[in-house]
Amino acid sequence: MTADTDYMTLALAQARRAGEAGEVPVGAVLVQGGQAIASGSNRPISGCDPTAHAEIEALRAGARALGTYRLNDTVLYVTLEPCLMCAAALVHARVRRVVFGAWDPRAGAAGSMLDAFALPGLNHRVDVFGGVLQDECAALLTGFFEARRR
């Protein structure tokens, strides 16, 4: 097992927590120096906060843990391709790398709908890699929405 799959497994645990709470099951883990320093899961419903995506929750927790919003030399693992809002936050936080699981053809901003990370003029470049544990990440989302439709 590689480090990417190990950390994505941790992100999947966060996603399951979100699903159990009635939120869309997306989870994220922020890593620095080989250590998970923060995590987050979707909570816009319970938090009455449209910005409470898993990535944002992990960034907020990481900033508190490090005492700065500049999350240099960090890697964010997230179970779903980041949306435009989250992609912009990841750039502004100066995250070095983003690794995601499932692609999001409707709202993904790392190549599916658009690639926000490649926009010209950004003050920081984020290395992005998708498809890690893609089947597991996608199955969690598919199962959640199928259960909602019943």
Residues taking part in catalysis: 55
Please give the Cα distance from 55 to 78 (Å, whole number): 7
Alpha-carbon gap, residue 133 to 102, rounded angstroms: 8
Residue 140 in tokens: 């969690």
Place of tokens 């190549």: 111
Cα separation, 53 vs 50, whole angstroms: 8
- Residue 20 tokens read as 């159990």
Residue type, 86: C
